[in-house]
Structure 1
Amino acid sequence: MGARTNRSGTDLLGIYLNDHLAGATLGVRRARSLVEADSERAPALADEVRPVADEISEDRAALLDIMRRLDVPVRRYKVAAGALAETVGRLKPNGRLVRRSPLTSLVELELLRLGVEGKAALWRSLRQVADGDRRLDGAQLDDLLERAERQLDTLEQLRLRQAAETFERGDVRLPG
């Protein structure tokens, strides 16, 4: 039997949307960081990620707009936690001490893809309840979901290409 909660559906929606806002904050920062870091080392990759990064930023703005329409207050501590998590995430070892590893771009593309998967789940969840809540625009949510699916396709193509380039360079040796 599931645990009971004293929270209303509205409270739970606020928590859910603020959690996604924290993730969106992390995603915007990670996407911009990837574009900036690869601008010199891998300008073609940066050029291909830049439009996705711009859309991720626009999607975060759309989420903030939806939260305003639903009268869900922004929990600044969650936004700050998302920004902090992104900053700390950049400190992870990447096989190189001083300079950026080709593996870093691959891992960052994977992280972006996971974030977009979460965002698509958000849009699907909101779309599920949009017909019963006039404050939610079903057409907007359909558009946001379609854009997230395009972003997923783009990021997956870039991820696969980056994996091939990284592992074929000899920077990483595969067993076998």
Structure 2
Amino acid sequence: MKIGVLALQGDFAEHISMLKKIGVETAEVRLPEHLNGLDGLIIPGGESTTIGKLAAAYNLMEPACASSDGPHAIWGTCAGAIFLSNDIGRDQPLLGLMNIRVRRNAFGRQIDSFETDLEIDELFKATGTEHPYHAVFIRAPIIESVGGNAKVLSALEDGRIVAAQEGHLLATSFHPELTNDTRFHEYFISLAS
């Protein structure tokens, strides 16, 4: 099992650390050829416009989208979820792989960042643990809607969607890499297997 982490911008080092913590081989992805031989790709949080522009400049858009050349599973966290989505209501480079509409910075500015516990049944089933998942939201997007075969994995108490899945594609509004809880990374590995 080998998982790549898009290492153009954002908190890629934290994802690599979490993957190593659970014994997964990792690769930093900066060029199209770095996608070869991967079982999955994580697109980290950071700044979605910058990630999109850099991915386009380094010719990563098409290879990341091509199932025959690219990884089998893709997970976008925060800005990565925006980049993975097919609709954000504005023009910027997107992979457009996942049938979700995402709104950037939906919770406000940096000062409005927060943490909360989430109940995530799929995560509980996959990892065998039933305690809530402590999620860190930093200038986070929300998933306004899911379409096609996408499904909601988790929502806040007020109904705002913060995690979704479509087959082997995963999107989270929050930052699992900024916690000590490896369950979301373990869940992603199960999708990539």
Normalised TM-score (structure 2): 0.23
Q: By percentage of residues, which structure has more helix?
A: 1
Q: Which has the higher contact order (CA 8 A, sep 6+)?
A: 1
Normalised TM-score (structure 1): 0.25
